[in-house]
Structure 1
Amino acid sequence: MAPSLTEQRDEVLRLLADDTYSGDMDELLARADQITGQIEQAQQRDARLRALQAAALPDAPQGTGTRVQPGQQPDDGNHPAVSAAEAFVRSKALEHYRASGMVGKVAVEHRDAPAGTTSTATPLKQNQRQPGVIPQNPDYPLLIANLLDRQTSDGTTLEYMRDVSGPVTGAGTWNKAAVVPEGTNKPMSGPFQFDLITTSLKTVAHWVPITRQAADDNGQLVGYINGRLTYGLDFKMDREILTGNGTTQMQGILTTPGLNAYQPGSGNTDAKLITIRKARTVQELALYPPDAVVLNPSDWQDIELDTTATGEFRVIANVQDAGGPPRIWGLTVVSTVAMAAGTALMGGFRMGATLWERQGVTILMSDSHADFFIANTLVILAERRANLAVHTPAAFTKVTFQALP
């Protein structure tokens, strides 16, 4: 059977990202342009189809071109929702709530679909999963949360073992594996030291007001939920993942003791891109190869705009992978204001920490707030419960850039 358009796209993406590819690059780029055109054509066809369905006459029989509201098909199991907003507007709970005159409250919880789940629906926002590329919403920046191992918790208390043995300076410091003569005792590797960490899952939440008229319009409702509520939760959780205090907030990576550190010595004039490369060596010597680096946008700007004496950009010529998400020295780059300027966080994020989530994004809507009922106004609230287990601090390195004159 001929490969699907998605399979063709993924194959070309893999080859474009492969630094060792030795085939005909012009032919590969031509394939990429052809597939891009076919995808755009398919998207235009779907858009025309939806527009034609929406233009059906008011007296059209059920199931023969009736208008499909934003949010797409109902959640009947054949067309599962792919976002919290879609799950909410498709839910039977919202249907009953509207039928009752939108009095009282309604709540719907949505969890992300497992990797590999497919849908025949035409989603409003589709997360693209590409080999070797961390999935992300194409409308929003890459999130730090997407770098981590993510698991589901069934309780409210989180317990895990944290390796506090400290950074490893070489295999010989703990790995006592050896060739052992027959009849002699085998060596014990170590020492290792672990602490039992007990904490709780934290609730991240916020709400916005919405008029009854807007709440009765699926398009506006999806916009409120996707554009303000769920993105706001992701925005805040990213900051918690970096700098949460671990008590009243989530556990942050930077506030966890035991991280590696790298800072150029006094008088060092290394450019920031050189500092990142040397920090990578520090992380590799700790025996936890890094896969990503988190930077403040101003520091990432300095790296991207670094030029030679003749005005040539170093990043594009030497260390930046073309045609994919931002990368430097083989590491995925997350540029975010959550990271303080002048510093960076490098690490093996999937090896070093796990994001435990007890509750997916839950959307609640109610008229029972202050005087909103008489003002014909409702409240939409979004919340999720999660916490970060930084079980291997040595998998991360905090980088401090040298201030240059």
Structure 2
Amino acid sequence: MTAEAPERVIEFPALKEAKAGLNAKRDELAAIFKEAGDTYDMDKVKSVPGDRTAKVDFIKQLNAEIDERKSKVDELNVLARAAGAAKEAEETESGHKDIPDLPERKAGQHKSIGELFIASQAFKGYSTGLGVGPAANLNLELKTLFQTGAGWAPESIRTGRVEMFPTRPAPHVVEFLPQTTTNQASVVYMEETTFTNAAVETAEGGTYQEATLALTERAQQVRKIAVFLPLTDEQLEDEQRSEAYVNNRLPFMLRQRLDLQVLVGDGTGVNLLGTASVVGIQTQAKGSDPIPDAAYKLFRKIRDDGFAEPSAIFMRPAIWEQVRLLKTADGQYIWGHPSVPGTPTLWGVPVVETVAAPATAAIAGDYTNFSELAVRRGIDVQVSNSHGTFFVEGKLAVRADVRCAVVHYRPKAFGQVTGL
């Protein structure tokens, strides 16, 4: 077995100069540590002026300079080894050196990378001792290009984030309604529909005046809001997040629909009865009034005639924008500076911006005291393959529903501003 020939390195002037400078700096640092002794006492160091802090800073600077020079030497060593390899190949092929193990270059064979580098301006710049040479442009010809099409396509892994479709958030409206439970198919209650107060001052022996009271039974039917989604067995089995995603989005759809029904459900058929459709609520037309004026007049009616205090007013963002941007003649915002934080209010009543409100009306009322969301059964999610031909097709039907009733106990405690 023949020993491998040592690697040939061509030490051009720039490399020699860089090594000499590196060694000089190393010797300088070694001399300082020799002065400091085994305890690294900076007071013993006389070759560096200044106090201990100044000497330590000098050592840090010197060490950084050594690192920089070492990096330069490593860079030049790479060039020197490349030059040596190219020289070896050149001598072998020209017959100046006998290395039988190296095959002769075939006719038409291209130069090696080392040979091309030796002939480049970059290496000539280094070899003349300039220290920095121009970039090397090597024209290489590859018979087979190993690229994306012939190798691996880049692998990209999803982050895990699912950006939801832009839609109205929920719940938003039902948060203002007290929630109760019921085990009945409808919520039945009595409303006092006649109240005649005949109380009056009466003389001794005089006739008492007769009062009149009458009650009427009211009922709000429990209605069902439902939705279902078809999906395949594979989707549910192979993607771990699909179950959680579906279980989140279907209930969200129910809450979103419930928000809408609480305000504008017409109460016909299987619809819930929303505030805007309740018979007997207060109404205030905007007319030529500014929106704040019309809203205040509605609040006054609710207080004077409904003997209630509005707890919220629901309006679309485009309508509230008209109020929020109102300015005085000299350009001052009337409804507060843009930097003012907190919940927006209109005459002290919280404003709830939601596109569940009508496009041309604002709905207000004392939801805290005179409304109720009676839940017969909370949101229920079920999965089955017994829908149509789903069993033989390997599909599943995921369904979700909720049963509840919306009750407005005192119609005059609610109202709307129309004509917006």
Normalising to structure 2: TM-score of the pair? 0.52
More helix by share: 2
Q: 1:275 aligns with which of 287, 291, 294?
A: 294
**Other structure's SS at 1:386 match:** strand
Q: How many residues align?
A: 250
- State the partner residue of 1:215: 236
Q: For residues 377-392 of structure 1, what are the structure 2 equivalents within 5 Å?
A: 377-392=395-410
Q: Residue type matched to 1:303 in 2?
A: V
The answer to whether 1:294 aligns with 2:294 is no
- State the partner residue of 1:110: none
- State the partner residue of 2:335: 315
The alpha-carbon distance between structure 1 residues 384 and 196, as it changes in their structure 2 partners (threshold 3 A), is same
Find the aligned partners of 2:247 and 2:208 in 1 and give their Cα distance.
Answer: 60
Find the aligned partners of 1:250 and 1:329 in 2 and give their Cα distance.
Answer: 30
**In 2, are the aligned partners of 1:155 and 1:358 still within 8 Å (CA)?**
yes
Q: Residue type matched to 2:274 in 1?
A: G
Find the aligned partners of 1:337 and 1:156 in 2 and give their Cα distance.
Answer: 30
With a CA cutoff of 8 Å and minimum separation of 6, indicate the structure with the bigger relative contact order.
1
**Other structure's SS at 1:398 match:** strand
Q: Residue type matched to 2:302 in 1?
A: Q
Q: Residue type matched to 1:278 in 2?
A: K
Q: Indicate the larger mover: 370-379 or 331-340.
A: 370-379
Find the aligned partners of 1:351 and 1:185 in 2 and give their Cα distance.
Answer: 38
1:238 CA drift (Å): 1.9
The alpha-carbon distance between structure 1 residues 222 and 401, as it changes in their structure 2 partners (threshold 3 A), is same
The alpha-carbon distance between structure 1 residues 255 and 162, as it changes in their structure 2 partners (threshold 3 A), is farther
The alpha-carbon distance between structure 1 residues 144 and 192, as it changes in their structure 2 partners (threshold 3 A), is farther
**Other structure's SS at 1:215 match:** helix
- Structure 1 unmatched runs, 5+: 1-138, 166-172
For the aligned residue pairs, the C-alpha RMSD in angstroms reads 3.2
The answer to whether 1:252 aligns with 2:274 is yes
Find the aligned partners of 1:360 and 1:182 in 2 and give their Cα distance.
Answer: 61
The alpha-carbon distance between structure 1 residues 237 and 370, as it changes in their structure 2 partners (threshold 3 A), is same
1:174 CA drift (Å): 6.0
- Structure 2 unmatched runs, 5+: 1-167
1:337 CA drift (Å): 2.5
1:378 CA drift (Å): 1.6
Q: For residues 48-197 of structure 1, what are the structure 2 equivalents within 5 Å?
A: 140=169, 143-164=172-193, 193-197=214-218
1:327 CA drift (Å): 2.8
- State the partner residue of 2:389: 371
**Other structure's SS at 2:180 match:** strand
Q: 1:334 aligns with which of 340, 352, 356?
A: 352
The alpha-carbon distance between structure 1 residues 223 and 315, as it changes in their structure 2 partners (threshold 3 A), is farther
1:178 CA drift (Å): 7.7
Q: 1:201 aligns with which of 222, 235, 253?
A: 222
1:200-232: per-residue Cα shift (whole Å, max 9, x none)? 311110011233344345533222222x21111
Identity %: 24
Find the aligned partners of 1:321 and 1:155 in 2 and give their Cα distance.
Answer: 49
1:263 CA drift (Å): 1.8
The alpha-carbon distance between structure 1 residues 177 and 288, as it changes in their structure 2 partners (threshold 3 A), is farther
1:29-68: per-residue Cα shift (whole Å, max 9, x none)? xxxxxxxxxxxxxxxxxxxxxxxxxxxxxxxxxxxxxxxx
1:106-165: per-residue Cα shift (whole Å, max 9, x none)? xxxxxxxxxxxxxxxxxxxxxxxxxxxxxxxxx935522221122111121332223545
Rg (Cα) greater in structure: 2
- State the partner residue of 2:154: none
The alpha-carbon distance between structure 1 residues 199 and 283, as it changes in their structure 2 partners (threshold 3 A), is closer
Find the aligned partners of 1:314 and 1:224 in 2 and give their Cα distance.
Answer: 45
**Other structure's SS at 1:316 match:** coil
Normalising to structure 1: TM-score of the pair? 0.54
Find the aligned partners of 2:300 and 2:360 in 1 and give their Cα distance.
Answer: 19
**Other structure's SS at 1:314 match:** coil
1:331 CA drift (Å): 1.7
**In 1, are the aligned partners of 2:276 and 2:415 still within 8 Å (CA)?**
no
- State the partner residue of 1:262: 284
**In 2, are the aligned partners of 1:160 and 1:389 still within 8 Å (CA)?**
no
Q: Residue type matched to 1:381 in 2?
A: R
Q: 1:238 aligns with which of 253, 256, 259?
A: 259
The alpha-carbon distance between structure 1 residues 375 and 346, as it changes in their structure 2 partners (threshold 3 A), is same
